[in-house]
Amino acid sequence: MKQVIWVIVVLLVIWGVYALATSKTDAPTTDGTVPAGEDSSATDTSGTPAEVSMVEVSDQKAGKSVLVASYTLSAPGYITVHAATAEKTAGAIIGNSELLQAGSAVNVEVPLTVATKDGQSVIVMLHLDNGDGKFDGTLDLPATAADVSGAQAVVMKTVAVKK
C-alpha cells in the first residue's frame, strides 16, 4: 500500500513540474523580467485564479533586488523578502512587491530597501493581502500551503546571496 501511495506522489510531482514548465506566462520586459505590480491579471494555464500558493527562487547576486523565478498566489498578495536571522528564520522585511493578483507569473523583480551582501541569506515569502491593497507586514499574513505531510506551512524559500 505504501508503494502505491509513493507512486501516486511521484506522478503528481512530475505532473506539477511538467505543468509549471509548460505554463503560459506574462510577457517579460526587454530585460527579461516582469515588474512587480504590473502583473495585474496573472492566472494559471486554465485561465482561472490559482488555488495553491508557491514560490520558486534560486540563489541571488548581491544587490538591491531579488529576482523571483516564479510564483503562484491563491489570492491577491505580495512577495516579500526577509533578512534571515542567525537561526535561519525570517527576520525583518527588507523588500516587497506591489500588490499581485491571484495567479502565476515568472521573473518578478522585488526591490529591496537595503542591498544584500555576499554570504548573506534572505527568505522570500508570500503574504496575502488583507483586502486594503496596501502592504503591511503585520496585517497581511504569510500565505500557507499543505506540505508533503498535509500540514499547513508558510510558503517561503531561503536563498543564499553570492557575488
User: Nearest to residue 66, comparing CAs of 87, 49, 45, 82?
Assistant: 82
The predicted pLDDT at position 13 comes to 67
| pLDDT at site 1 | 72
pLDDT < 50 positions in the chain: 24-50
CATH T-level fold of 26-162: Immunoglobulin-like (2.60.40)
CA distances from 40 to 44, 56, 65 (A): 13, 19, 20
Q: What is the pLDDT of residues 104-114, one digit of tens each?
A: 999 999 999 99
- Please state, in angstroms and as integers, the Cα–Cα distance from residue 111 to each residue in 11, 79, 116, following that order: 37, 10, 11
Q: According to the model, what pLDDT value does residue 8 have? A: 72
Beta bridge partners of 140: none
pLDDT of residue 21: 64
Distances from the Cα of 32 to the Cαs of 53, 72, 96, in angstroms? Answer: 23, 19, 19
pTM of the model: 0.69
Using DSSP's 3-state secondary structure scheme, residue 22 falls into helix
Domain boundaries, the chain: 26-162
DSSP 27: P
